[in-house]
Amino acid sequence: MPKELNVPSRTLMTPGPVEAHPNVLKAMGSSILGQFDPNFLEIMDEVKEMIKKPFGTKNEQAFAVDGTSRSALEAALIALIDPGDKVLIPAFGRFAYLLGEICERAQAEVKFLEKDWESTFDQNDIIESIKDFQPKIVAMIHGETANGQMQALDKIGAYCQRNHIFLMVDMVATYGGVPIKVDDWGIDVAVAGTQKCVSVPSGMALITYNQRVKDVLDARYQKELGLGDDERSDDPIVSNYLDLSQLQRYWGKERINHHTEATSMVYALHEGLRVILNEGLNNVYVRHDKNNRALVAGIYAMGLEIYGEPTSKMPTVTPVKIPADIDGEKVRELLLNQFGVEIASSFGDLKGKIWRIGNMGYSSRHENVLHVLASLEGALSYYGANINKGEAIKAALDIYNKE
């Protein structure tokens, strides 16, 4: 028989999951409410409104999906796709291919616009590709967790809106960490997660979409058998669980019975969002930016290199090139087992070549930045890497003390 759970403390400096905020953990200890208890419905309504703020949207529709981030990516894509529909996916990293995987399984005709992973696209190149391929949907990533690059989006959305193309954007790794303007950028549907800058455990996803998407959903709505057979659709969404047309009626005034909402995760999300809104979103972005600059200064001062184009680097992820002759996994193990500090490896071609240091949510703290720099320097020294010693902390403190 397993023993009672006994979880060690970690300094989580990965690009998710990050440390949950203490108020979030406290909220999760609250007792359970029934899913239609008026007190719970009020909490859901408050969550809906708070979700909109970091997205920078006044959309009517904003709610949570009971699954990890990718559940809402899939929900968003299958809401819009009919078999044979054309989807253009500009790819500058691993997670663009996840979008493609989802679309291919939904029988879309997928075209990847590919480039190396070291920088993002010139938006005009994407617009040219849209003109050429004439997709129904453009699906893309805002911040690529896998390689730390962040795509500018302000022109693409405007073009899509003018040309009646749907733009779906994965903002999982940027939501709550950098300014996002879903409405101003002309994004039709945007998705985020809980386990990154919202400082909530993994297991829930956030979504918002505009009237254009809602119109599609309303046309495809099919009432679930068991609740009645009086509202059937010719073109229902292929998944019942990830059917946004039902989810919006569960989170909305109709309160149709769909799943039983994940009570404690809603509590957690309520507090995670409330904490950052109380801090003030602009203050939150300034904090992430400053911690990013301190981290980057420390990494450079140590003599290490950062992967990719600096001007488009995400503030929330720093990809560090693993020095030659150093086993990246051994360094990660030493950090985890001896310092209790976790940093991440990467995927595909970048596996073994970069570490990824996160700077997200409650983990984005002054002391965590110093802790990860000090322990990384210690681990690299231990394994005999040729680095500048004693410089990283000085460089980071210069940023903190100067401002």
- If one asks whether residue 33 binds a second copy (CB under 8 A), the answer comes out as yes
- If one asks whether residue 54 binds a second copy (CB under 8 A), the answer comes out as no
Among 96, 217, 301, 370, binds a second copy (CB under 8 A): 96
Among 159, 221, 251, 267, binds a second copy (CB under 8 A): 267
According to CB under 8 A, which residues from 232 to 251 bind a second copy?
236-242
CA distances from residue 388 to 115, 202, 302 in whole angstroms, order as listed = 34, 37, 5
Among 149, 195, 208, 359, binds a second copy (CB under 8 A): 195
Report the relative pairing of strands 166-170 and 137-141 from DSSP bridges: parallel
According to CB under 8 A, which residues from 111 to 170 bind a second copy?
146
- If one asks whether residue 102 binds a second copy (CB under 8 A), the answer comes out as yes
Instruction: Give the x/- contact pattern for a second copy in 308-337, rule: CB under 8 A.
Output: ----------------------------x-
- If one asks whether residue 174 binds a second copy (CB under 8 A), the answer comes out as no
- Cα–Cα dist 194/42, whole Å: 20
- If one asks whether residue 35 binds a second copy (CB under 8 A), the answer comes out as yes
Overall residue count recorded for the chain in this entry? 403
Rounded least distance, CB 375 to a second copy, Å: 15
Nearer to a second copy, 157 or 358 (CB): 358
- If one asks whether residue 8 binds a second copy (CB under 8 A), the answer comes out as yes
Q: First vs last Cα of the chain: how many Å apart?
A: 54
According to CB under 8 A, which residues from 61 to 80 bind a second copy?
66-71, 74
Token reading at 267: 């509590």
- Cα–Cα dist 242/239, whole Å: 5
Rounded least distance, CB 401 to a second copy, Å: 29
Q: Quick count: other Cβ atoms within 10 Å of Cβ 183?
A: 16
Residues in contact with 345: Cβ distance below 8 Å, sequence separation at least 6, in sequence order? 328, 329, 332, 351, 352, 354, 355, 356
According to CB under 8 A, which residues from 271 to 310 bind a second copy?
271, 274, 277-278
Query: Angle formed by the axes of helices 69-80 and 244-251, to 10°?
Result: 120
